[in-house]
């Protein structure tokens, strides 16, 4: 086994030890296929008010600009599929990824441990870790490293376990053995396109972000447009519809990360209690949660939007 192979094996083993479900590696180079797609998506204003998507265009497409000297991108998947669901079927719904502690904090900690392991075991390596917080096209890198294919809902789908995963990266100047992509297994299925409540999936693999329920309930700071009233399927934070209907998610299995377990009685909150939510309760329930991002006013705006006619 040569050095790049050996180092790849060591990193993958350590990542698995820390709880990551899948690890793949790709060569850090220009994402040629993604460049025209990203440009077209931005030109059509499908990012809505997510102006940050326009920033650092070159860095999004070339990790060597983001991390000077980068040679490898290690992509990692961490399952968040829960074993429980909200108790009150009539309560406003919250996306599964937000049941537990904020994934940014949980995953960043694990990634930093991997980076430290690399430095201790392999040597003086320069690298950076990313989890949904920098100009990195994480799904493109995960696809390139063979962790799955991009579904028609634009999510990464893993053949063994579906799509309920967080994606993270470790970009470094370490030469590693790269994995190759796998084929697309969506076939003629259009369940996600047909099921999207706001018709945000405008073509296979193209989601108009400005029409997505997740965008309206998390990113949008203004009032939610009235033309989507009654189309939210009761979602108050995020939306899982295009994943819930995906046949590949019949292979989803409950996660093993204690920090992703539902926090502070979240799943037991009834519709009545959500309607009466106080700022104090919001702070208590979502103390360590990704839901903090909407702030109290944003979440109560969403609750009102989905519960009033």
Digit-coded pLDDT (tens) for 246-285: 999 999 999 999 999 998 899 999 999 999 999 999 999 9
The distance between the two most distant Cα atoms of the chain, rounded to a whole number of Å, is 65
For residues 172-191, average pLDDT: 96
How confident is residue 1, by pLDDT bands cut at 50, 70 and 90? low
Give the pLDDT confidence score for residue 59 in this predicted structure: 84
Spatial contact of 79 and 146, defined as CB atoms under 8 Å apart:
no
Supply the DSSP symbol for 263. Answer: P
Structure tokens, 168 = 């993270």
Give the pLDDT confidence score for residue 58 in this predicted structure: 85
How confident is residue 49, by pLDDT bands cut at 50, 70 and 90? confident
How confident is residue 48, by pLDDT bands cut at 50, 70 and 90? confident
For residues 186-206, average pLDDT: 97
CA distance 232 to 209: 15
Question: Catalytic residues, which ones?
Answer: 132
Return the bridge partners of 23, or none.
Answer: 76
Spatial contact of 21 and 165, defined as CB atoms under 8 Å apart:
yes
How confident is residue 88, by pLDDT bands cut at 50, 70 and 90? very high
CA distance 302 to 184: 36
Task: Inform me whether the pLDDT recorded for 241 exceeds 80.
Answer: yes
How confident is residue 47, by pLDDT bands cut at 50, 70 and 90? confident
CA distance 43 to 64: 25
Q: Which backbone phi and psi does 99 adopt, to 5 degrees?
A: -65, -35
Tell me what percent of the chain is helix, strand and coil, each rounded to the nearest 5: 40, 15, 45
Q: Which backbone phi and psi does 79 adopt, to 5 degrees?
A: -65, 140
For residues 173-191, average pLDDT: 96
Q: How buried is residue 256: exposed, middle or buried, by Cβ count under 10 Å (0-12/13-18/19+)? A: exposed
For residues 51-63, average pLDDT: 80
Residue 27 CA to its chain's centroid (Å): 22
Q: What is the mean pLDDT of the chain?
A: 94
How confident is residue 83, by pLDDT bands cut at 50, 70 and 90? very high
| Least confidently predicted of 53-67, 164-178, 272-286 | 53-67
Task: Inform me whether the pLDDT recorded for 23 exceeds 90.
Answer: yes
How confident is residue 131, by pLDDT bands cut at 50, 70 and 90? very high
| Least confidently predicted of 51-65, 91-105, 115-129, 182-196 | 51-65
Which of 106-124 are b and which e, b meaning 16 or more Cβ less than 10 Å from the residue's Cβ?
Answer: bbbebbeebbebbeeeeee
pLDDT tens digits, one per residue of 135-147: 889 999 999 999 9
């Amino acid at each position: 086994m040569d050095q790049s192979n050996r180092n790849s094996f060591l990193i993958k083993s350590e990542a698995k030890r820390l709880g990551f479900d899948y690890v793949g590696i790709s060569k850090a180079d220009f994402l040629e296929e993604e460049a025209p797609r990203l440009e077209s998506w931005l030109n059509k204003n499908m990012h809505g008010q997510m102006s940050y998507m326009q920033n650092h265009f070159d860095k999004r497409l070339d990790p060597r600009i983001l991390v000077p000297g980068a040679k490898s991108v290690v992509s990692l998947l961490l399952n968040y599929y829960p074993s429980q669901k909200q108790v009150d079927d009539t309560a406003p719904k919250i996306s599964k990824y937000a049941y537990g502690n904020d994934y940014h904090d949980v995953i960043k900690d694990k990634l930093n441990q991997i980076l430290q392991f690399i430095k201790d075991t392999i040597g003086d390596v320069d690298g950076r870790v990313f989890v949904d917080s920098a100009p990195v096209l994480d799904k493109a890198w995960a696809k390139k490293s063979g962790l799955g294919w991009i579904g028609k809902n634009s999510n990464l789908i893993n053949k063994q376990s579906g799509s309920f995963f967080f994606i993270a990266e470790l970009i470094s100047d370490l030469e590693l053995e790269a994995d190759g992509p796998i084929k697309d297994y969506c076939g003629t299925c259009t369940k996600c396109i047909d099921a999207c409540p706001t018709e945000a999936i405008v073509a296979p693999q193209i989601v108009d972000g400005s029409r997505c329920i997740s965008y309206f309930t998390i990113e949008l700071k203004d009032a939610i447009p009235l033309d989507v009233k009654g189309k939210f399927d009761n979602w108050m934070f995020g939306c899982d519809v295009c994943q819930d209907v995906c046949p590949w998610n019949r292979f989803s299995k409950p996660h093993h990360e204690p920090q992703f377990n539902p926090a502070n009685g979240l799943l037991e909150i009834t519709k009545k209690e959500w309607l009466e939510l106080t700022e104090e309760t919001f702070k208590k329930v979502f103390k360590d949660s990704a839901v903090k991002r909407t702030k109290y006013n944003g979440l109560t705006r969403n609750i009102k939007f989905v519960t009033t006619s």
